[in-house]
Amino acid sequence: MEQIITFITLGVKDLNTSADFYENKFGWKRSDRSSEGLVVFQMNGVLLSLYSREELAKDANMKPNGEGFKGFAMAHNLGSEQEVNDLFAELKAKQVQIIKEPEKVFWGGYSGYVADPDGNIWEIAYNPFL
Amino acid sequence: MEQIITFITLGVKDLNTSADFYENKFGWKRSDRSSEGLVVFQMNGVLLSLYSREELAKDANMKPNGEGFKGFAMAHNLGSEQEVNDLFAELKAKQVQIIKEPEKVFWGGYSGYVADPDGNIWEIAYNPFL
């Protein structure tokens, strides 16, 4: 099994709300792989897609119920502490939910967290070791 | 904000159990970016990491409690229906939890789902349109 992730799919409560978040808060452009009911972003190598949470559960043969911490995070890395601060300022101005202000962290980097409308969390980090 | 995901981090109940799953069931090799408490796999462009669920929640300033459907899926795409069937047979032989046997799906592909020890779900798919 090759070390390949083709898609990361986020199952969302409301596709328009989530698409608005990624397109207008994060400022990303949807790919033309998007279709009715599926919004796709071409990332570095992997595709990030937004899809109905109910439909995702159904596709996987699971119950859609779930709550609390999802136990996963995505990270967006930047080139310096200043870039992290600047992006937080920009996201705050766009009313993005900040869950942790950026600070120096134990592993030697600098990071904070924001959440998307479904509580999927993004670490925004400067990692001097990357 | 560039369209970049640096890390996907899975917060896991038991790091050894999860590392065993990805290394010995999926057959992946950990990267030398791994460290005490963090197991990293170099994927296509993005890094997949395993980290304590409790510590991930703490890092994000969140409560670690959560249950049920997590509302996200990762996909591993292959080149044909036969390759999907072969991988399912291999994973079954290794006692991986199958949550949906592969079948033809509405969007024109062929896919099934398996789960890791923390219930993170992987779609294993053939998509003729990719």
Give A-chain residues touching B83 at CB under 8 angstroms: none
Residues A16 and A53 occupy one common structural domain: yes
Q: How far apart are CA B40 and CA A111, in angstroms?
A: 19
Task: Please give the tally of structural domains in chain A.
Answer: 2
Nearest CA in chain A to B114: A60
**B91 and B50 within one domain:** no
Q: Are residues A47 and A91 in the same domain?
A: no
Name the residue of chain B whose CA is nearest to A45's CA. Answer: B45
For β-strands B121-126 and B72-78, DSSP reports them as parallel
**Quick check: A42 and B44 in contact, CB under 8 A?**
no
Per-residue pLDDT tens digits for A66-122 = 999 999 999 999 999 999 999 999 999 999 999 999 999 988 999 999 999 999 999
Kindly report the nearest CA distance between residue B67 and chain A, in angstroms.
5
**Residues of the domain holding A91:** 73-126
Chains A and B: how many Cβ contacts under 8 Å?
199
Q: Return mean pLDDT, chain B.
A: 97
Nearest alpha carbon to residue B116 among B13, B9, B18? B18
**Helix spans in B8-66 (H):** 15-20, 53-59
**Domain of A43: which CATH number?**
3.10.180.10
- The pLDDT > 90 percentage for chain B reads 96
B15 touches chain A (CB under 8 A): no
Domain end point (choices B37, B59, B81): B59
Taking CA atoms, A11 is separated from A56, A91, B40, B45, B64, in Å, by: 6, 22, 25, 22, 20
Tokens of A64: 């859609």
DSSP category for residue B64: -
The predicted structure's pLDDT at residue B130: 81
| Cross-strand bridge partners of residue B130 | none
The verdict on a CB contact (< 8 Å) between A66 and B61 is no
pTM of the predicted model as reported, rounded to 2 decimal places = 0.96
Among candidates B45, B70, B123 on the partner chain, residue whose Cβ is nearest the Cβ of A71: B70
Give strand pairing partners of B8. A74, B48
Range list of H helices, chain A? 15-20, 53-59, 81-93
Nearest to B69 by CA among A63, A26, A30: A63
Beta strands A66-68; B66-68: pairing state: antiparallel
Q: Is the same domain home to A55 and A78? A: no
Is A91 inside any structural domain?
A: yes
In a domain, B19, yes or no: yes
Residue B51 lies in a domain: yes
Helices marked H in chain B: 15-20, 53-59, 81-93
Checking if the pLDDT of B129 tops 90, the result is no
Distances (CA, A) of A113 to A103, B67, B87: 10, 21, 36
Can you say whether residue A56 is alpha, beta or left, with left for phi > 0 and alpha for psi between -120 and 50 degrees? Answer: alpha
Q: Nearest C-alpha of chain A: how many angstroms from B17?
A: 16
For A8-62, what is each residue's pLDDT tens digit? 999 999 999 999 999 999 999 999 999 999 999 999 999 999 999 999 999 999 9
ipTM value for the complex: 0.95
One domain, residues B54 and B12 = yes
CA–CA distance, A112 with A105 (Å, rounded to integer): 9
